[in-house]
Structure 1
Amino acid sequence: MHVIQRPILFALFALLFMGLAFSAPAHAERIKDMGQFQGLRANQLTGYGIVVGLAGTGDDSLDYSTLGMKGAVSRFGLTLPPGVNPALKNAAAVMITAELPPFAKPGQRLDITVSAIGKAKSLRGGTLVLAPLYGADGQIYAMAQGNLVIGGLGVDAADGSKLTVNVPSSGRIAAGATVERAVDTGFATSDWLTFNLHQFDATNAKRVTDAINAAIPGSASMIDGASIAIRTAGNGDERMRLMSRIENLTVTRAEPPAKVIVNARTGTVVINGAVRVGTAAVSHGKLTVSVKESPMVVQPAPFSRGETAIEPSSEIEVAEDYRPAFLIEPNASLSQLVDSINRLGVPPGDLVAILEALSQAGALTAELVII
């Protein structure tokens, strides 16, 4: 029976993984995952409404709620007496938001989000009174109404203590709005379709254009590094079939630009795989200064008129860790750069300083972005 030694076994596994890495083909992505067709976008809707039926958790006396309630009851021919405040505690003024998807037709339902704009403590158990939802052009595109579902909870005790779980002043109504007007996208009248990439990249735009022309010769041309124009004709059925065919074509995405992203608030550092580092020697020291306070109590002599006093005693220590410089090989890859930095064992703040120094020295072939 032959026994393979552990170092040899590890070497065999390493060779196997290297072979798989080099033999694996480049990953191809669908065109639909790289962008979207122009005009096929969602539209935001907003509205103002009143939520009623609250168990004393509504607005105290918000004028907007009072006016809204008076407007709601006026639809039924009712006029409230002067001085009556129907919005007190049992109703709340809210803002309503929704997203109108492309090609939404009258009669289809939308999910809506309802959020209090006043001092309402909770919208739990409330009902949204019929309210219009407006688009950016000021036109009504949907009507909203329904019972709210609240994921939060708020409780007040008699002694003033409070307990709040999540956000009880905001909720959702599933299928709470009905579409009343469709948005004209001009989809069926234009002679061209425009495909916009999510990110500007001339290489990706060229590859997408080449893939479309390979499937449909002479139909696509680049407008710029983010948009491709596609010639089309026929009715809506033919256009949708053409779009479906284009979306499912595969393209090998180009390698992204080399970037190092640093989040200055959280200390997060992200380095993409295109980053390369030239020949450089890096040395990073750690200086630690500690101040130890040991105050001493001094007692006066017996039968003297002295007073007890505190005598300060401070001890300052300075320690500097010795960390030898290490050499980064020419055109080091991301893994080699990470391995080199890990040898130093530096925190994110010091890592940013090292990357900035490498960039200033011209050894870092990447854009350093601070967010």
Structure 2
Amino acid sequence: MRALLFAALCAVAGLSGAAETIRIKDIGKMAGWRENALTGYGLVTGLAGTGDSSRNKATRQSIANMLSRFDMTVVADDVQSRNAAAVMVTANLSPFARAGDAIDVTVTSMGDARSLVGGTLILAPLKAANGQVYALAQGPLSVGGYKYDMNGNVMQKNHPTVASIPGGATVEVGIVNDVSSAGTNGGATVTFVLSDPDYTTASRVAAAINNALGANLALAQDASGIEIRVPEGRRARLTDFLMAVENVSVEPDRRAKVVINERTGTVVAGGDVRISRVAVSQGDLKVTIVTDNSVSQPLLVSQTGPGVRSARVANSRVDVEEQGETGFVAAGSNTVADLVQSLTRVKTNTRDIISILRAVKAAGALHAELIVQ
């Protein structure tokens, strides 16, 4: 059934994907457009005895340091940490974040806290790789799970030591991304970067931009980047110009790939992936070992010695079953979808199809990149 579904999907892909055009914004982005990772250390308080134990000196020291900011001097050894937990706070700063924007944060336990349910994150600065603070995080945690244990009985759902705070961080320092730069001719340019580098697609994108905007503005620099010159009259309204560029339609080229997931028995391929002439012969040999366990009981226990007792006897047999006929498929200049349909007609299961495709690739008849996950 799964193989039939695969073949049907391949056939549909072969029919609908022949002249498919998409917007170039769906296959790449402007250079300089990237998110920035932020990381911070903090304390979660308000836990109902599910926080870090007294063995975590870092947690107790952090609580003592926090109290010292409020003019309270407490020795770390005197601090009880069961209602608190040391956590790491992570977030992603969008490429156009401005001061005052709210971003989502993720909170993860560092110590031996059993659960973060009901906790609140105390103000934690979030730093980038350069060590500068870009956001401040604080707020009640949202935990999509729980864990309760008593007398050796444990009931747990999901991971209660990981939580999130939607909009829990406030951006303090915004990011200014200037996507334009000085081009080779001295004018302002922007660079469009493909998600999957390909020379054919890069050339088609440049040609499509030139045809749509009516001038020789785009030039493919390599398999990934297309340099686009910004006309002098549109530099003041760069956003409108980039909107026009992003909505240009293009027919991207794609490499022939066959993706195999052996754990789930899934095969995904484009409907136009070609194979050369190949003959496939597939047989099936099943070896089954069956063990029958029985108990041998003495007839007259009272008349035997003290060492006589019941004995457990295992009787094993080996059954060998070989398929009477082997499936034979002769494929000419067809696609992978045609081969799978032929194998399905001879009742080949999905995992055998995976092995056959790997063998066809080894024979040099599969003209596609074979990716095994």
Q: TM-score, normalised by structure 1?
A: 0.85
Deviation at 1:294, TM superposition (A): 4.3
- Change in 2 beyond 3 A, CA 1:25/1:220: same
What SS does structure 1 have at the residue aligned with 2:258? strand
| SS in structure 2 at match of 1:362 | coil
- Please list, as runs of the form range in 1=range in 2, the aligned pairs for 1:296-335 lying within 5 A after superposition: 313-335=315-337
Matched, 1:72 2:66: yes
Cα distance in 2 for partners of 1:304, 1:81 equals 76
Deviation string for 1:304-348 (max 9, x for gaps)?
Answer: 889676666443221100334433332212331121121343344
Displacement, 1:168?
1.5
| Equivalent residues of 2:201, 2:252 under 8 A apart | yes
Change (3 A) 1:133 1:272: same
The 3-state SS of whatever aligns with 1:83 is: helix
Q: CA RMSD in A?
A: 2.7
Tell me, in whole angstroms, the C-alpha distance in 2 between the residues paired with 1:148 and 1:298: 63
Paired letter, 2:366: L
Match of 2:5 in 1: none
1:205-263 Cα shifts (integer Å, max 9, x gaps): 11110011112311111111111111126687522111111001111222x22222222
The aligned counterpart of 1:12 is none
| Deviation (angstroms), 1:271 | 2.2
Mean Cα deviation higher: 301-310 or 317-326:
301-310
Give the CA deviation at 1:364: 1.8
C-alpha deviation, 1:137, in angstroms: 1.4
Shift of 1:188: 5.5
Unaligned stretches of 5+ in structure 1? 1-17
Match of 2:146 in 1: 153
Match of 1:209 among 206, 211, 229: 206
Asked if the contact 2:283–2:327 (Cα under 8 Å) also holds between the matched residues in 1, the reply is: no
* Counterpart in the other structure of 1:109: 102
Q: Which residue of 1 aligns with 2:276?
A: 278
Give the counterpart letter for 1:48 in structure 2. Answer: Y
Q: Is residue 2:136 matched to residue 1:137? A: no
Q: Give the C-alpha shift of residue 82 in structure 1.
A: 5.7
Could you tell me which residue of structure 1 aligns to residue 222 of structure 2?
224
Please, which moves more after superposition, 349-358 or 300-309?
Answer: 300-309
Q: 1:259 to 1:54 in 2, by over 3 A?
A: same
Distance 2:39 2:315 in 1: 66
Which residue is 1:246 aligned to? 245
What CA distance in whole angstroms lies between the structure 1 residues aligned with 2:350 and 2:15? 32
Give 1:252's aligned amino acid: E
- Change over 3 Å in CA distance of 1:132–1:313 after alignment to 2: closer
Q: RCO (CA 8 Å, sep 6+): is it higher in 1 or 2?
A: 2
Counterparts in 2 of 1:181-200, with a 5 A limit?
A: 181-187=173-179, 190=182, 191-200=188-197
How far apart are the structure 1 equivalents of 2:61 and 2:333? Answer: 69
Amino acid corresponding to residue 343 of structure 2 in structure 1: I
Query: Which string of whole-angstrom CA distances, capped at 9 and with x for unpartnered residues, describes residues 17-61 of structure 1?
Result: x9xx97998221011101100111111111100011111111112
Structure 1's 323 and 200: CA in aligned 2 closer, same or farther, altered over 3 A? farther
Distance in 2, Cα, partners of 1:301 & 1:240: 96
Alignment check: 8 A CA contact 1:259 1:274 kept: no
Count residues with an aligned counterpart.
349
Could you tell me how far apart the structure 1 residues matched to 2:165 and 2:35 are? 19
Unaligned runs of 5+ in 2: 1-10, 183-187
Shift of 1:295: 5.9
Corresponding residue of 1:360: 362
